[in-house]
A and B are shown apart, each in its own frame.
Chain A
Amino acid sequence: MSLRCAAALRPLAWLWWRVYPFVVIVALWWVLADRGVLGNRFVMPPPGDVLDRARELVDDGMLVDQTWVTIRSVFIAYGLAVVVGISVGTLIGRVRAVRLALRPIVSFLFPTPKVALYPAMVIIFGLGTSSKIAFGFSEALFPILLGTAAGTSQIEPRLLWSASSLGTTSGQSLFRVVIPAALPSILTGARIALVGAIIGVFLGEMIAGSKGLGHMMAVAYRTLETPDMYVAIVTVSLVGYILDRTFLTARRALLSWSAEEAPR
């Protein structure tokens, strides 16, 4: 009886641990705003006020438009980083000459704070969305590239031998053996890269831009529309959270065959 009871409670417990962090954050926010710990209603509006403002902004279409601008830039930056990162990463992992040639450049650029290059990107690509895409791309590229290089360089030679003895050409084995065997490592980098792309695009829009959620936050700061600032940062965080969760679910599905355990 108690076993059945525990089994019935399991989905509830699962749901609770999913909702729990949001409950804590909203409750903390509400208490801080109510007590005025961080300041008055102007600098710290309660969650209800921010929600009302978000509804207004959804109704006049602005929030949806700006969110869409940001998401579009994130997807372009991320897509480019995936394509370039996996192809160059595979070359680094499998071809010694490429590894030797690119190592100094990659090991210089990887630990470099990419935001230092952003003003230069603005000069090269202009104030429009291209410079934000470039910033998001530079944030997303290296985790994928290094994950791919690490994964493809550690493939058991036996896998490749058996593939070639079964008549797989080396071109075919790239997609049938090398990339699948490196997938756990590629996807670990790709998860970090996804959040990197979002942060790059959002920050790029804040620092110098004319569109997107980041721009909305920066403008709200300058015009002292404080609730709009909260709307912008909460929206981009939710977008990030949903994309990150979706990525982890997809990763688990893609790696169901692998021994590597995916994080929750």
Chain B
Amino acid sequence: MSTNPADGAVLPAGRLRRLAPVVLLPALSIAALLGLWELAPRAGWVRETSIPPFSDVIGEVFDVLGRPGFTTNLASSAERWALGLLIAIAVGVPLGILMGRWRPLYRLVDPLLVVSYPVPKTALILLFVLWWEAGTVSRVGIVVSGCLIPIVISSYHGANAVEERLVWSARGLGTGPLGRGLRVIVPAALPQILSGLRLAIAISIFTVLGSELLIRGDGIGAFMFTALDNGQTLTVFAMSTIVATIGFLLDLIYVQAVRRGLPWLEGDV
């Protein structure tokens, strides 16, 4: 009798009974949630103008996905997002690693990060617009300021926790400071850096969207706000669904990519 469900077509009845809830319960809860979303407006428990039924929203999702305005706005948001995230990584990872390896830098920078942590960074877009106008500099800058702190902090924790023995052995073998940094400290700190990046991806999407909702112009947030201003409830719900799904998928892709690409990493991202 097979003990592994993957290689045996015939499952013992006991195992089937234990596996059934693993498949059934999640399916049931999703069905219940979507069913409620469909039923509540149809039955008149909520007004259809406040919560349109699920099937209407899904129909609108495909309609919105086909509109040319949607794709161009999505593209300009994606561009800002990617550029901002890349700059934040390019600045944040080296800064965090240096802080982890050189105590005085940590003492100088960390208090500033602690104070900046509760600042609503997305709101700074209005000041950025005053300083640099509503162009690329402001729109990319806001993404950088949004996701820099988690990248720096996680790189710091990663570099700070590197076993000293590893660094000593590399030095004993004649590896210079730059070589030690790139070949010992970065790989050893990688798990922490990567989990900080996961956080940074979520925050950066939030920042792009939030800043576009505040200053409009173009981008996916502006597209969404126009629909809200025009009272197009269905479009707003469809946009929320699309953007929420994009955020979820990016996170999923990132986690899967790290797991496949770096199978030697231990633990979760």
> Are A20 and B111 within 8 A (Cβ)?
yes
Instruction: Considering the complex, give the chain A residue whose CB is closest to the CB of B231.
Output: A123
Beyond A104-B26, A116-B209, 19 additional pairs, beta carbon < 8 A: A22-B115, A25-B115, A101-B26, A102-B29, A104-B30, A111-B247, A111-B252, A116-B244, A117-B244, A198-B118, A199-B122, A203-B210, A206-B214, A207-B210, A221-B126, A226-B130, A241-B115, A241-B118, A244-B117
Query: Which residue in A44, A123, A217, A237 is a CB contact (below 8 Å) of B228?
Result: A123
Given that A104-B26, A105-B33, A240-B118 are known contacts, is A119 also in contact with B236, CB under 8 Å in the complex? yes
Query: Among residues 40 to 80 in chain A, which have CB atoms less than 8 Å away from a CB atom of chain B?
Result: 43-44
Interface size on A, residues (CB 8 A): 57
Does residue B224 face the partner (Cβ distance < 8 Å to A)? Answer: yes
Which residue among A20, A105, A123, A236 has the maximum number of chain B CB atoms within 10 Å of its CB? A123
> Are A116 and B243 within 8 A (Cβ)?
yes
> Are B126 and A115 within 8 A (Cβ)?
no
Query: Among residues 196 to 213 in chain A, which have CB atoms less than 8 Å away from a CB atom of chain B?
Result: 198-199, 202-203, 206-208
Which A residues are in CB contact (< 8 Å) with B206? 113-115
How far, in whole Å, are A108 and B205 apart by their CA atoms in the complex?
15
Which B residues are in CB contact (< 8 Å) with A108? 244, 248
- Least CB distance from B56 to A in Å reads 14
Does residue B70 face the partner (Cβ distance < 8 Å to A)? Answer: no
> Are B115 and A113 within 8 A (Cβ)?
no
Classify chain B's interface size: 35 or more
Does residue A255 face the partner (Cβ distance < 8 Å to B)? Answer: no
Which A residues are in CB contact (< 8 Å) with B75? none
Which B residues are in CB contact (< 8 Å) with A97? 21, 25
> Are B248 and A124 within 8 A (Cβ)?
no
> Are A105 and B30 within 8 A (Cβ)?
yes
Q: Could you give 11 example pairs across A and B, Cβ below 8 Å?
A: A21-B111, A21-B114, A100-B21, A102-B29, A105-B29, A118-B213, A123-B50, A123-B51, A202-B123, A233-B124, A240-B119
Please report B residues at the A interface, Cβ cutoff 8 Å: 21-22, 25-26, 28-30, 33, 49-51, 107, 111-112, 114-115, 117-120, 122-124, 126-127, 130-132, 202, 205-206, 209-210, 213-214, 221, 224-225, 227-228, 233, 236-237, 239-240, 243-245, 247-248, 250-252
> Are B202 and A111 within 8 A (Cβ)?
yes
> Are A195 and B21 within 8 A (Cβ)?
no
Query: Which residue in B28, B49, B112, B202 is a CB contact (below 8 Å) of A101?
Result: B28
- Least CB distance from A66 to B in Å reads 14
Given that A102-B29, A104-B29 are known contacts, is A237 also in contact with B111, CB under 8 Å in the complex? no
Q: Which 5 A-B pairs have the closest CB atoms?
A: A240-B118, A111-B251, A116-B243, A100-B25, A101-B29
Which B residues are in CB contact (< 8 Å) with A221? 126
Does residue A229 face the partner (Cβ distance < 8 Å to B)? Answer: yes
Which A residues are in CB contact (< 8 Å) with B214? 206-207, 218
Query: Which residue in B117, B127, B237 is a CB contact (below 8 Å) of A195?
Result: B117
> Are A233 and B117 within 8 A (Cβ)?
no
In the complex, number of A-B residue pairs with CB atoms less than 8 Å apart = 148
> Are A115 and B123 within 8 A (Cβ)?
no
- Least CB distance from B76 to A in Å reads 17
- Least CB distance from A27 to B in Å reads 12
Which A residues are in CB contact (< 8 Å) with B112? 21, 24-25
How far, in whole Å, are A8 and B123 apart by their CA atoms in the complex?
42
Please report A residues at the B interface, Cβ cutoff 8 Å: 17-18, 20-22, 24-25, 38-39, 43-44, 96-97, 100-105, 108-109, 111-120, 122-124, 195, 198-199, 202-203, 206-208, 214, 217-218, 221, 226, 229-230, 233, 236-237, 240-241, 243-244, 264
Which A residues are in CB contact (< 8 Å) with B127? 229-230, 233
- Least CB distance from B79 to A in Å reads 17
- Least CB distance from B108 to A in Å reads 8
How far, in whole Å, are A114 and B122 apart by their CA atoms in the complex?
13
Given that A43-B131, A123-B228 are known contacts, is A113 also in contact with B247, CB under 8 Å in the complex? yes
Instruction: Considering the complex, give the chain A residue whose CB is closest to the CB of B126.
Output: A221
How far, in whole Å, are A109 and B248 apart by their CA atoms in the complex?
7
Given that A113-B206, A226-B130 are known contacts, is A120 also in contact with B248, CB under 8 Å in the complex? no
Which residue among B22, B115, B213, B237 has the maximum number of chain A CB atoms within 10 Å of its CB? B115
Which residue among B29, B120, B224, B244 has the maximum number of chain A CB atoms within 10 Å of its CB? B120
Query: Which residue in A44, A120, A198, A237 is a CB contact (below 8 Å) of B240?
Result: A120
How far, in whole Å, are A241 and B29 apart by their CA atoms in the complex?
39
Which B residues are in CB contact (< 8 Å) with A116? 209, 224, 239-240, 243-244, 247
How far, in whole Å, are A18 and B107 apart by their CA atoms in the complex?
11
Which B residues are in CB contact (< 8 Å) with A18? 111
Instruction: Considering the complex, give the chain B residue whose CB is closest to the CB of A243.
Output: B118
How far, in whole Å, are A264 and B115 apart by their CA atoms in the complex?
13
Instruction: Considering the complex, give the chain B residue whose CB is closest to the CB of A194.
Output: B118
- Least CB distance from B249 to A in Å reads 9
